[in-house]
Amino acid sequence: MIALRAGRLTLELRPETGGAITAWHLDGRPLLRPSTPEALASLGARGAGCYPLVPYSNRLAGNRFTFAGQTHTLPATLDGQAIHGVGWRRPWIVLASAPARASLAYDHAPDSDWPFPFRAEQHLSLEPGGLTWRFAATNLAAHPAPMGFGLHPFFPRPPGTRLRFAAERVWRHDARKIPSHATSVPADWDFAAGREVASAVLDHCFTDWGGRAEIALPHATLTLAAEPAFRHLIVYIPPERDFFAVEPVTNLTDGLNRIESEPMSNIIVLRPGERREASVRLDVAAR
């Protein structure tokens, strides 16, 4: 475990558990869903407050995709579906660590979970006013390979918690939660003016959201700012749970199957040795 501190903020990072953040606090009060030893033991990174998504975000239709004329079938990892790539299920190594900074890396060799080699890096910088998470991915294959990445933070959901973001479109999905078509955002799912999280039930991909969202907890306001590479935002608000997720991601759900057919898929195709970077900033203001 790596412990970071900057001013009133503290953060705990577990490289061995999918490179996940297991605690982030302001004056001892949680900014992410608290992790328990029991949850980490049974769920791994899924029991943490935040974990990285790489080399793709969310689900694949039929647990397979075709790239460069070859079809690849991936094993189911959650609820019968291949989901969120491999980074959250593998240990990461520590590249550097300081009182308020840490850098982690994961080197992937081709296996049944993902057929292409790559290196992923997380660079976290904690400051008194917030957290910067910078992600980098490098194609280690001798040929072009697809890549997607993102961040999966779970936020606490005490009564009165509010969410604000604006998006141009939202993707409707089928029973498998695979997107079928994009529409304008309906009033029931419109958070552009800010509203209580409890006012909606969601597990949907929003597109062209401007890279900005605000989470207002009773004790703090978090302002999320993502670079343009994160074109999509997954918003997960389950019913009757004490958490929700707001996930900036590069690729559309099932985007690996839509690289050529859907301009909004936003799957990155990296040349051999090519590296791509993008960052997310979470500013914190006490309330």
- Give domain status of residue 119, yes or no: yes
What confidence tens digit (pLDDT) does each residue in 254-264 have?
999 999 899 88
Euclidean distance between CA atoms 78 and 59, whole angstroms: 10
pLDDT, residue 252, reads 97
**40 occurs within a structural domain:** no
Residue 253: domain span:
55-286
**Phi and psi, residue 143, nearest 5°:** -145, 165
Domain membership flag for residue 233: yes
Instruction: Give SS3 for 285.
Output: strand
- Asked if residue 28 is part of any domain, the answer here is no
- Higher pLDDT pick, 230 / 80: 230
**Does 34 reside within a domain?**
no
Whether 206 is covered by a domain: the verdict is yes
Mean pLDDT, the chain, integer: 96
Gap between the Cα atoms of 148 and 214, Å rounded: 24
**Closest Cα partner for 207 from 175, 177, 184?**
184
Contact call for residues 59 and 177 (beta carbons, < 8 A) = yes
pLDDT digits (tens, 9 = 90+) for 197-211: 999 999 999 999 999
Q: Is residue 36 part of a domain?
A: no
Compute the distance between CA of residue 233 and CA of residue 212 in angstroms, rounded to an integer: 10
Q: Which two structure tokens, joined as six digits, stand for 88? A: 């959250």
Q: What DSSP string runs through 239-270?
A: TT-SEEEEEEESS-TTGGG-TTT-TT---EEE
CA separation, residue 38 to residues 44, 65, 78, 194 (Å): 9, 35, 19, 34
The CATH number of whichever domain residue 182 belongs to comes to 2.70.98.10
Residue 280 within any structural domain of the chain: yes
Q: What is the pLDDT of residues 124-148, one digit of tens each?
A: 999 999 999 999 999 999 999 999 9
pTM of the predicted protein model: 0.96
The count of domains in the chain is: 1
